[in-house]
């Protein structure tokens, strides 16, 4: 695995989080309830945390270590599951789609992110 890939995924997460955050603050503010907007913002916040995590990992970590590679995979997949399920659940009423099946996906994504951070801790120790 190449450090450039980790940095690229982190940068892509960051770019998308900023776009979605601005979209939420402006366009979605008018069409979502305060509760749904707050949930959407949680997805954005955790996505930006993951972006920063991956940037630090890509610029500083030794990707030869399997724990570091696992950290990358788990945080990346976890972020997609966590944040994107929240985005869809928040927009379900507006889109008139039933995304309730994604409910269990959100905590699974969070768990993967926790395990990914734990892999980084393991590698550090």
pLDDT score of 122: 97
What percent of the chain has pLDDT above 90? 97
pLDDT at 1: 81
- The pTM (predicted TM-score) of the whole model is 0.94
Q: How far, in whole angstroms, is CA 82 from its chain's centroid?
A: 6
The answer to whether 70 and 113 have CB atoms below 8 angstroms apart is no
What is the overall mean pLDDT for the chain?
A: 96
CA atoms of 76 and 12, how far apart (whole Å): 11
- pLDDT tens readout for residues 86-120: 999 999 999 999 999 999 999 999 999 999 999 99
Judge whether residue 82 has pLDDT over 90.
yes
């Amino acid at each position: 695995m190449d450090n450039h890939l980790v940095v690229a995924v982190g940068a892509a997460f960051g770019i998308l989080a900023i776009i979605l955050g601005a979209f939420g603050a402006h366009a979605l503010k008018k069409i979502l309830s305060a509760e749904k907007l707050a949930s959407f913002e949680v997805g954005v916040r955790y996505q930006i945390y993951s972006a920063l995590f991956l940037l630090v990992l890509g610029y500083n970590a030794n990707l030869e270590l399997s724990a570091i590679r696992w950290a990358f995979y788990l945080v990346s997949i976890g972020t997609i599951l966590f944040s994107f399920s929240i985005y869809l659940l928040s927009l379900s009423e507006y889109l008139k789609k039933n995304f309730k099946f994604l409910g269990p996906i959100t905590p699974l994504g969070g768990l993967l992110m926790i395990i990914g951070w734990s892999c980084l801790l393991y590698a550090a120790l």
